[in-house]
Amino acid sequence: MSIQQTSTGKFIDGEEVIAIELTNSKGTCVEVLNYGAIINKFTVKNAKGSLQDIVLGFDDLEQYVNAAYLENNPHIGAVIGRYANRIKDGKFSIGNEDYQLIKNTGTDSIHGGVIGFDRKFWTIVDSEADNQSIVTLEYESVDGEEGFPGNLIVALTFELTENDELILTYEAETDKATAVNLTHHDYFNLAPGGGRIDKHKLQIFASNYLEQDENYCVTGKIIPVENTPFDFRTEKEVSRDWNPEEGYDQTFVLDKIYGDLTLASKTFEDESGLVLSVYTTEPVAHVYTSKYLRVKNGKGGRDYDAFDAICIETQHHPNAVNIEKFPSTVLQPEDLYTQTTIFKISNYK
C-alpha cells in the first residue's frame, strides 16, 4: 500500500493542482486531485491481466476549466455539493426561512449551482501510507455560497483497500440549518478500449424509481419498476430496453433499510471481465448513461460522446428538501452528516 502526492505543474485560479495517488499491492491505482476532489484515474487489472483505466478524465488537467468544457459542465469525476441533482425552481424553505438558489438548468438548480464543490480547491488535511492508502480532503463552504445558508465544513476521505475497494466516506457539519445532499460524479467505462456502454450489463437492487417532470426534476411520486424499462432487478444489457435517443437519467429507490451499507448495483463488461459493485449507505442511486456528454481531448486525445460512460450517483432523493415524505436532506447544527459509498472492482471471468 502506498500514497504519493505530486505537483502536476498546473495552476487553476492561481492555486496549484496536486495529484494524490493511492496504490495497493495488486497495482490498482486511484489518482485524486485536490481540485474538485476529482477521481482522475482508476487503474485496475482486468481478467486478461492487463491494466486499464475505468474512469473518464483528462491528461491535461487544464481541460477541467476549458471554456467549452464548462459551458455544459458534465462534472467528470468530481464531488457534487452542496446538493446533488435538481432542486425544483431553485428554491426551498427551512423553518420560516425561504432560500433562492441560482437557477443553472432551466428553471431549476442542479449540482450545487454555477460554481459547486466540483470547482473548488480542497485542502489535503490527512494522508496515511503505513499499511493503508488513505487521504482526506476538506472544504469549507461559506454562508450564502450559491444561495445556501450556513457555513458548511465537508471532509471527504478516499481509501483504497487490498480488496480493490475504493471507499468514499463523507462527513459534514454546519453552523446553521442547511440543505445537503452529496455524491460523486464518476463516469465509468469498463471496456478495454472505451467507446459506448450499450453492451455493458447492469443490475440495480431497486424495486422502484422516482417520477421526473419534463426537466428531469423529481416530483415525489414513486413508481414500481416492474413491467417498465427501468427494471434492472435482474442483470441485463444497459441498452436492452432503453430509448436509444435518451438512455437513462433516472433515480432508483434502493431496496434497503435506510442508513445500512448495502449493495446498490453491479455493472459487468464481457471483454474486460470486470465487474463494478457499488455499495452505499444512501437510499437512492441515480443512473446516468451520459446522454449529454460532449467532451474534446479526453485521455489519450479521445473525444467523449453520448453514451460513452455510465454514472452511478449514490445520494438522498433529489429535490427531497421540497418533498416532506422523502428522507430529510436538512442538516442541523447539532447533527453530523455522514455517508459511505464503496466502488469495488473484481473479475467475473
The CATH code of domain 2-347 reads 2.70.98.10
Closest by CA to 197, choosing from 54, 309, 312, is 309
What was the pLDDT predicted at 128?
Answer: 66
Tell me the DSSP string of 98-163: EEE----BTTBEETTSTT-GGGSB-EEEEEE-SS--EEEEEEEEPTTGGG--S-EEEEEEEEE-TT
Length of the chain: 349
Using DSSP's 3-state secondary structure scheme, residue 320 falls into helix
Give rounded-to-5 percent helix, strand, coil for the chain.
5, 45, 45
Provide the whole-model pTM. Answer: 0.96
DSSP state of 181: B
Amino acid at 197: I
Cα 196 vs. chain centroid, distance in angstroms?
19
Please list the active-site residues: 185, 313
Residues 196/307, Cβ–Cβ less than 8 Å: yes
The predicted pLDDT at position 4 comes to 87
Intervals of the chain under pLDDT 70 = 127-130, 349
Q: Domain residue spans in the chain? A: 2-347
Rounded Cα distance between 265 and 286, Å, is 11
Ordered alpha helix ranges (H), the chain:
67-71
